[in-house]
Structure 1
């Protein structure tokens, strides 16, 4: 009897800073359309949209939702800290 083979591991695509578009109105991960839109008057609360996160491409790979959201939150925090005048901080 042959040993059961494990299916090949599906690797997540690398999440990079240049994949994000950041403006005072929010941040968008361009490949997946995942986004965060802040509420007026509070840069750190708002609407988080997952877009196509979790969808796999034709070769079975996709972006890891946790990786995208972690990078999105980090980049947004950096943007707000670098532009306090835009957010009444």
Structure 2
């Protein structure tokens, strides 16, 4: 399977969580703890008909990194 590049601009980040737009994979934090929550796989397990797709571990790694950056840059949103 050919791996599709995961890019920062593929993510939508709000105080309510982060979503990888192409796959709908997401992380939604629990109230009061921005680093614990629910992870949704979305379409990560589905392979595109042409054989290409996103590697789940790449999407999850980028999601964790971007979410940590967002929380650190916006502590007032999370009562840190």
TM-score bin (small chain):
over 0.9
2:74 counterpart residue number:
83
Q: 1:20-49: CA deviations, max 9, x gaps?
A: 000000000000000000000000000000
* Higher RCO, 1 vs 2 (CA within 8 Å, ≥6 residues apart): 2
Deviating above 4 A after TM superposition, structure 1's stretches of 4 or more consecutive aligned residues are none
Q: How many residues align?
A: 80
| TM-score, normalised relative to structure 1 | 0.88
Structure possessing the higher radius of gyration over alpha carbons: 1
Aligned partners of 1:13, 1:86: CA distance in 2, in Å? 33
Out of 18, 27, 31, which is 1:27 matched to? 18
Query: Where in structure 2 are there 5+ consecutive unaligned residues?
Result: none
Task: Calculate the aligned-residue CA RMSD, in Å.
Answer: 0.5
| TM-score, normalised relative to structure 2 | 0.98
Aligned partners of 1:42, 1:53: CA distance in 2, in Å? 25
